[in-house]
Amino acid sequence: MGNTMLLVEKVVRVCGKAGAWLVIPLNAVVLYEVFIRYILNKPTDWVYDTAWMLFSALFLLGGGWVLQEGRHVRIDIILGALPNKLRLWWEIIFYAVMLLPVMAILTWKGIEYATYAWVTGERLSTTTWGFPSGPVKTMIPLGFGLVFLQGILELIKVCKRLNEKEG
């Protein structure tokens, strides 16, 4: 792999692992709310937003890493029955026709969505604390962009494997 590919893989992996660590504050916030609400009978007005923002970041930052590790859901019962060469062609078609265009659109629209939030100073309206929505909305293009970049690398890897089979 070239240096650029290695760099992209490293960035995707670091972002995915960083996102995975968000499960700790997410659990802490939820446990805090359960204790405050049900033991002390004093519910908060900030935990709901904090929890979904942490989960969103965890989910979005982890997508590229999950793709890199080959852990996304697959229909192995069907793909496993195909000859290896046909399976490689299926993966090429999947990445080129389905994954990459969808991730490109979601990244582009996510950029528009996040930019609007930053430019207008948009704030969350689900609770009284009105947290700025820009930071969490920035996770959208970042997360889908990471999946897009990793998808390009996966497509290149599959093409190389196909060339090795044919060569």
Dump pLDDT digits (tens) for 69-90. 999 887 778 888 889 999 999 9
Give me the residue spans of the domains in the chain.
3-166
Query: Band of the pLDDT at 167, cuts 50, 70, 90?
Result: low
Give me the pLDDT at residue 126, please: 74
**What are the helix (H) ranges across the chain?**
3-21, 23-34, 47-68, 76-79, 84-93, 100-120, 134-166
Radius of gyration of the CA atoms of the chain, in A: 20
Mean pLDDT rounded to a whole number for the chain: 93
Residue with tokens 């044919």: 166
Quick: pLDDT tens for 141-162: 999 999 999 999 999 999 999 9
> What is the rounded CA–CA span in Å between residue 65 and residue 85?
25
Q: What is the pLDDT of residue 79?
A: 83
- What pLDDT was estimated at residue 48? 87
Average confidence (pLDDT) over 114-128: 90
The pLDDT value given to residue 157 = 96
123 phi, psi to nearest 5 deg: -125, 150
In this prediction, residue 1 carries a pLDDT of 64
**Does position 109 have pLDDT exceeding 90, yes or no?**
yes
CB atoms closer than 10 angstroms to residue 162: 17
- 82 neighbors 30 (Cβ within 8 angstroms): no
Contact predicate 137/115, CB 8 Å:
no
